[in-house]
Amino acid sequence: MINPHGSETLKPLLVAKRVEQDALTKEAESLPSLLLNSAAAANAVMLGGGYFTPLGGYMNLGDALSVAEHMQTADGLFWPVPILNLTNDIAAIEDATRIALRDPNVAGHPVIAVMDVDNIEQISEEQLETMISKTFGTLDDAHPGVKDFRSLGNYCVSGPIQVLNLSYFETEFAGTFRTAVQIRKEIAGLGWNKVVAFQTRNPMHLAHEELCRIAKERLNADGIVIHMLLGRLKAGDIPADVRDAAIRKMVEVYFPPNTAMVNGYGFDMLYAGPREALLHAVFRQNMGATHLIVGRDHAGVGDYYGPFDAQAIFEELPEGALELEIFAADHTAWSKKLNKVVMMREAPDHQPEDYVIVSGTRVREMLTQGIAPPPEISRREVAEILMEYYQSDAAA
């Protein structure tokens, strides 16, 4: 199986033994505490599950700036996005060397991790601008990732952590949420060696389904991991439980047994385009995938990135930065000429009218009206789940 990133073994920071969990939980009651923001809590979950191997905790300001500017930590580890614990309020922890980190996303704010504080550093406006511009490629506050990053705080609290639990993901998505440790174990149990990962924050329409098949066949892969983001999204995105149900139904009906697994990870979407595509590659390597499908506008939002910027950035990486490889995909759509889904760059004789293309806005309108999109766009079983959601009060 492919090695984890920067390590021969996976390094999950979740405290697995119950006796150690109990001791840390008891200790945390007497420690100064910091209420995390959602981004820092998501980082704790990813560190806990081994997805961010080989990191041992939150980055200090020097590492964060080095990652932003050069895509490597101060000691030379390739890493594409700063992994931070930012806050505006350090009053309760400024003299502490060990603190309890509290979960903002669970009622009562239970302790999610215990942290040894190495540094508390104030971030200058210039340093903040550097991290934002390099990570997101823009300083525009209309970008949801930029807007969120600016709100996180101007103090960087860094140091190693011991994770006590994996937040609400373990309970709300018990059948879907998996750590990198668990996915590696499942891949090994299936005897898969070449594994394709598909990233999604949306339900999968027919074109996505066929893209997974195309990648699996061309790479001669043993299986596909459809790996969905379960954390916080921007307003208007479809909730994780609805996506989960739709994707599971598609796999259940249309994929042969033991060729595709469906699971998810606990992280908040950054919408950072190319840099986030690299982060996706890092933690997919950690979970055991050998390839990641990177398609048109991967992890993008609006028109901040070119359609294939997320593929091009992989060409800029130094030799050996990643073991995982990408499957570079074009926009996919149903061809009226060929009566199947194709990647558009592979159909040079086609004109726009030769494809069945329905805008996302129009698809949402149809679903809201209880009209199933054409079968060239969406499987009926998937459409029924989405129609129920769009016609519910939750989508209003």
Rg (CA), the chain: 21
Catalytic residue of the set 193, 202, 296, 364: 202
Enter the tokens of residue 157: 């609290």
- Cβ within 8 Å of residue 228, ≥6 positions away: 176, 199, 200, 201, 240, 243, 244, 247, 262, 263, 264, 265
Partners of 177 in beta bridges: 264
Tell me if 178 sits within 8 A of 263, measured CB to CB. Answer: yes
- In the block, tokens 């329905």 appear at 358
Partners of 334 in beta bridges: 341, 356
37 among known catalytic residues: no
Catalytic residue of the set 98, 201, 213, 248: 201
Q: What is the signed CA dihedral for 105, 107, 111, 112, rounded to 10 degrees? A: -30
**How many whole angstroms from its chain centre is CA 169?**
13
184 among known catalytic residues: no
The size of the chain, in residues, is: 396
Please tell me the distance from the alpha carbon of residue 7 to that of residue 4, in angstroms, as a whole number. 6
Catalytic residues: 201-202
